[in-house]
Amino acid sequence: MDNHIKLVKKAIRGNDKAFEKLVEIESEKLYRTALLYAGNKEDALDVLQETIYKAYISIDQVKQPEFFSTWLTKILIRTSYDFLKKKKKIILDENYLSAQHAKNNSDIEGKLDLLHVISKLNRDYQTVIILFYYHDLPIRCIGETLNMAENTVKTNLRRAKIELKRLLGGMEYEQTAFQ
């Protein structure tokens, strides 16, 4: 049996150390996703903290341990949307972006444009883009995560790409934007 599944089963039975280990394993992916939704480091950390809290108090609701990551991602997405509703706007943190620029000068403006444009997509498009390109989830898993038919995921992904291209002014982002 996979170690990850063993940890999930222990966490479901109330083992706090197992839950902490699972959070440690998932934290980088969750943080990156929260950052995409929230737009800045501080808000992303707030979303992440709230997600972990919600997961901790409801860990006993996990019915299939092999889908723990999917379950946790669903919580993060809902938490991100709740956070954005409260905030009513997405703000890109200039200090964070400056720090990123100092670390990595390679096409930061293009990446910034892309993040800004992704934040302007409607929820369904934004979520499929993030799950497909940033989480590298296959269409089937995105459908399971969002309780959506695979064909609907494909349609939303195609429409999201078209909308991104339109919002980016037709720039050549098709091949390079998500790398």
Q: Is the per-residue pLDDT at 174 higher than 50? A: no
pLDDT recorded at residue 145: 85
Task: Report the predicted TM-score, pTM, of the whole model to 2 decimal places.
Answer: 0.62
Region(s) of the chain under CATH 1.10.1740.10: 1-90
Q: What is the mean pLDDT of residues 81-90?
A: 70
Region(s) of the chain under CATH 1.10.10.10: 92-179
Does domain 1-90 fall under CATH 1.10.1740.10? My reply is yes
| Fold designation for 92-179 | Arc Repressor Mutant, subunit A (1.10.10)
Neighbours of 73 (CB within 10 A): 25
Q: Is the per-residue pLDDT at 177 higher than 50? A: no
Res. 2 pLDDT band, cuts 50 70 90: confident
